[in-house]
Structure 1
Amino acid sequence: MIVKWLRESQSASVLLLLVRLYLGYSWLTSGFGKITEGFDASGFLKGALAKAAGEHPAVQAWWESFIKGFALPNVELFNFLVPWGEFLVGLGLIVGLFTTAAAFFGLVMNFSFLLSGTVSTNPQMVLLTIFVAVAGYNAGRYGLDRYVIPRLREKMKKPKKA
């Protein structure tokens, strides 16, 4: 029942617009700050590793292995991906362009932060983003998705010429 409302109701799309704007602003400003002021993920990653120790670690062993084996050796990649990912997710949510994809990538980043032992506003953002992701196209009804998605669907339906 709630899924149907999220996906089809005009009132849900208005409410989701407000949620999108809030989430988008949060992501956009966070990413913009990292882009303009510089960002180095190595401190965050080393902090996550420190949370993997002790009797009740906040970071699971498999995530610790990922950080040690992939993230830290490729920290320059993460120094690029995190700020630009945050900025682009925020932009996508604000303008309502590829809203579902922006929500998905926002969830990926939020879960990465949570898995690294950082709580902050991430649980709240995950919860709100789930509503946007479940709503799909309706979450971007009042945005650029209203124009872009129907054109993409039409383009995908056209038969290919020989």
Structure 2
Amino acid sequence: MSIQQPTRQASWFGKSIDFDYATSVAGYTTVLIRLVTGYWFFHAGYTKILAAEPFNAAGWLANGTTASPIHGFFVWAAGTPWLLEFTNFMIPVGETLIGLGLIVGALVRLAAFFGGLLMVFFYLGKADWAHGYVNADLFGLLMFVFVGVFAAGRIFGLDAVIEKYDAVRQRPVLRYLLG
């Protein structure tokens, strides 16, 4: 008696490819990546909120690496009072909410999108490429892409429950925020 592995089919550059995977391992791995990424961002956010000194991005924005392709944008943002205040508020609060969303598995694709957006700014802002273009910020971006693409909130997350509500079933476009 042989046990047949689950098989999926994907399209890669217009060519259909069959591949096998272990369903239980894939699910647990997806949840683990979602939880670790969520804790990472939640911790980064709430420690900024609870810090003795309020979070201030001005120094990082204005004095960040000049090798960054968006250095001019950061200097402009640091010199624009309303944008600096918005950034000082949204980075800690955004990191906390993104992390919380991933931990509980609610609005995971939306959280992954905004987490990925922040990681793009962190990656380009640091431009710490002395040892190549692959660094921790790029890996963080890839974790958000993974969590969003594989709809990680549907596995042991609140998104699986939220998607059962009539409001979501009647508006399938909302499923793009969940997962």
Q: In the TM superposition, what is the alpha-carbon distance from 1:67 to its structure 2 partner?
A: 1.7
Residues 131 and 30 of structure 1: CA distance in aligned 2, closer, same or farther (over 3 Å): same
The two structures have a TM-score, normalised by structure 2, of 0.71
Give unmatched runs, 5+ long, in structure 2. 1-8, 12-17, 129-134, 173-179
Number of aligned positions between the proteins: 144
Structure 2: distance between partners of 1:126 and 1:2: 23
Match of residue 64 from structure 1: 71
Aligned positions of 1:78-97 closer than 5 A? 78-97=87-106
1:100-131 CA-to-partner distances (Å, cap 9, x unmatched) read 11111110001101111255632221122221
Aligned positions of 1:1-162 closer than 5 A? 1=9, 9=23, 11-37=25-51, 38-48=54-64, 51-52=65-66, 57=67, 59-60=68-69, 63-73=70-80, 74-117=83-126, 119=128, 121-136=136-151, 138-151=152-165, 152-156=167-171
Structure 2: distance between partners of 1:128 and 1:99: 12
3-state SS in 2 of match to 1:150? coil
1:56-87 CA-to-partner distances (Å, cap 9, x unmatched) read x2x01xx2232233354121110000000100
Q: Verify the 8 A CA contact 2:102 2:153 in the aligned structure 1.
A: no
RMSD, aligned α-carbons: 2.4
Q: In the TM superposition, what is the alpha-carbon distance from 1:12 to its structure 2 partner?
A: 2.5
Q: Verify the 8 A CA contact 1:71 1:78 in the aligned structure 2.
A: no
Residues 27 and 72 of structure 1: CA distance in aligned 2, closer, same or farther (over 3 Å): farther
Which protein is richer in strand relative to its size? 2
Q: In the TM superposition, what is the alpha-carbon distance from 1:139 to its structure 2 partner?
A: 4.2
Structure 1: distance between partners of 2:168 and 2:85: 37
- Residue identity over aligned pairs, in percent, reads 30
Aligned-partner residue type, residue 94 of structure 1: I
Q: In the TM superposition, what is the alpha-carbon distance from 1:155 to its structure 2 partner?
A: 3.6
Structure 2: distance between partners of 1:118 and 1:87: 24
Residues 17 and 75 of structure 1: CA distance in aligned 2, closer, same or farther (over 3 Å): same
Structure 2: distance between partners of 1:78 and 1:70: 9
Give unmatched runs, 5+ long, in structure 1. 158-162
Q: In the TM superposition, what is the alpha-carbon distance from 1:144 to its structure 2 partner?
A: 0.4
